Structure 1
Amino acid sequence: MLDSSSISASTAASFLLTSFLIEVTPGPNMTYLALVSASNGRRAGFATVAGVALGLAIIGVVAAFGVAELIQASHLLYNVLRWSGVLFLLYLAWEGWRSGDEGAVVGSTNGGKYFLRGLITNLLNPKAGIFYVAVLPTFMDLDAPPTAQAMALTGIYVGAATFVHLLIVLIAGTLEPVLNDPRREQIARRFLSALLGLVALWFAWTTAR
């Protein structure tokens, strides 16, 4: 439960709506979750969601203590983080594309692997840090303790993002039984992998400054 002394109900509601609108916009998380869930099933998708949620929470805590502002202010640090994220997304897209050719086991449920990938993709996402630095503060009361407000709003955002991500896993996961046929699985995997690669390039373009 949110501390009523940190943010008002109206602020919480408006920020929740903003968070939902941001999360339903297609991006790296949505595309990768669809790829994992459609190809490897819901269990792998849920593990990825857990990693994504932890990554978003860590960035929120870091931002609350001002570290994200330092990254945003440093051109070098920002671009190192940005390009690391782009390259990691391209690696995931490449791996998804080639896995069918190299006899990868479809339906692998190595939860730890997917958890770490969900975590890494978000820790290397400078847009998440910018959200916490540029968007989240606009919902804060300047006369109230900032740390408590930042933590409460971070909790709302992570909750909204996780809800949307779980829906993606549930929807995409329904395709996994249909994709038991190797030919259909390869087509779907390569389509989503190509889409993830395009998202990575779009991510590189939109985060340039």
Structure 2
Amino acid sequence: MIDPLVDWAGFALAVLLVEVTPGPNMAWLVTLTLSEGRGAGLKAVAGVALGLAVNAALSVIAASLILAQGPALTTAVSVLAAAMMVWLALEAWRDAGESSPTATPRRSGERHALAGFAINVLNPKSALFLITVMPQFVADGRPTMEQGLVLGAVSVGIATAIHGALVLAAEHARVALMAESRARIVRRVLALAMLGVAAWFLTKAFA
């Protein structure tokens, strides 16, 4: 049964905006697949997905502990969520070079899955995004453990679907995502969308 207290579509859209912005995972998976084949890319996707899943579970536990402290912290989390989206928007707008293949980790053989896991389980950006943004899509701003875990699963599912699609169409994805002229336009459109989400979070915080 779908929980009516959760804005699933809104949360999915926020996650999608972040995940489709070219970044380290995308660049690594695309270049890895092009250089070592689809098998290597899919192993890396599995590792990334597992790392994100563990990261999400830990983030849900942290969010539950933080939000249980009272309404003042709930407002603070909304402000932090807005700040998080502004930060991501500025990163996308500046095109700071995160999508460069030379800036991403490279491993060989069976270590691709382990590398993907390690990079993402320790990724503070993923954790902070889920901790701050997830409560904005729950009616009272305090997701239960069950709601949090399902939202975390939605986030990981969207990310994995995008990563898998990149691997399965790596050559075309590289043309679309790595070309400088196109990447700049994509990043800036997404940056403006993220700023709109940040403004909405601030409105919620002080409503």
Q: TM-score range by the shorter chain?
A: 0.5 to 0.7
* Residues 155-190 of structure 1, C-alpha deviations (whole Å, 9 max, x = no match): 2222233233322222221122x36xxxx8466423
Residue of structure 2 equivalent to 1:7: none
1:29 aligns with 2:34: no
Residue of structure 2 equivalent to 1:122: 126
- Distance (whole Å) between structure 2 residues aligned to residue 74 and residue 160 of structure 1: 20
Q: Given the two structures, how large is their TM-score scaled by the length of structure 1?
A: 0.57
The answer as to whether partners of 1:38 and 1:174 remain within 8 angstroms in 2 is: no
Report matched runs for 1:45-124 at 5 Å: 45-67=45-67, 70=73, 72-73=75-76, 81-82=84-85, 84-86=87-89, 94-97=97-100, 99=101, 109=112, 111-112=114-115, 115-116=118-119, 119-124=123-128
The answer as to whether partners of 1:48 and 1:116 remain within 8 angstroms in 2 is: yes
Q: How much has 1:23 moved relative to structure 2?
A: 1.9
* Residues 28-55 of structure 1, C-alpha deviations (whole Å, 9 max, x = no match): 1243465554343333333333343344
Structure 1 or 2, whichever has the larger Rg, is 1
- Percentage of matched positions with identical amino acids: 12
Q: Cα RMSD between the aligned structures?
A: 4.5
Report the CA distance shift for 1:188/1:163 in structure 2 as closer, same or farther (over 3 A): closer
Residue of structure 1 equivalent to 2:8: 19
Q: Given the two structures, how large is their TM-score scaled by the length of structure 2?
A: 0.57
- Distance (whole Å) between structure 2 residues aligned to residue 17 and residue 76 of structure 1: 19
Report the CA distance shift for 1:198/1:116 in structure 2 as closer, same or farther (over 3 A): farther
Match of 2:43, SS? helix
The answer as to whether partners of 1:86 and 1:201 remain within 8 angstroms in 2 is: yes
**Counterpart of 1:63 in structure 2: which amino acid?**
A
- Distance (whole Å) between structure 2 residues aligned to residue 52 and residue 167 of structure 1: 13
- Distance (whole Å) between structure 2 residues aligned to residue 103 and residue 164 of structure 1: 24
Report matched runs for 1:164-203 at 5 Å: 164-176=158-170, 178=171, 185=174, 188-190=177-179, 193-194=183-184, 195-196=186-187, 198-203=189-194
Report the CA distance shift for 1:107/1:60 in structure 2 as closer, same or farther (over 3 A): same
Instruction: Give 5+ residue unaligned stretches, structure 2.
Output: 33-40, 203-207
The answer as to whether partners of 1:30 and 1:168 remain within 8 angstroms in 2 is: yes
- Distance (whole Å) between structure 1 residues aligned to residue 54 and residue 95 of structure 2: 19
The answer as to whether partners of 2:28 and 2:105 remain within 8 angstroms in 1 is: no
- Distance (whole Å) between structure 1 residues aligned to residue 13 and residue 99 of structure 2: 23
1:136 aligns with 2:138: yes
- Distance (whole Å) between structure 1 residues aligned to residue 17 and residue 145 of structure 2: 24
- Distance (whole Å) between structure 2 residues aligned to residue 203 and residue 150 of structure 1: 26
2:151 pairs with one of 151, 157, 166 = 157
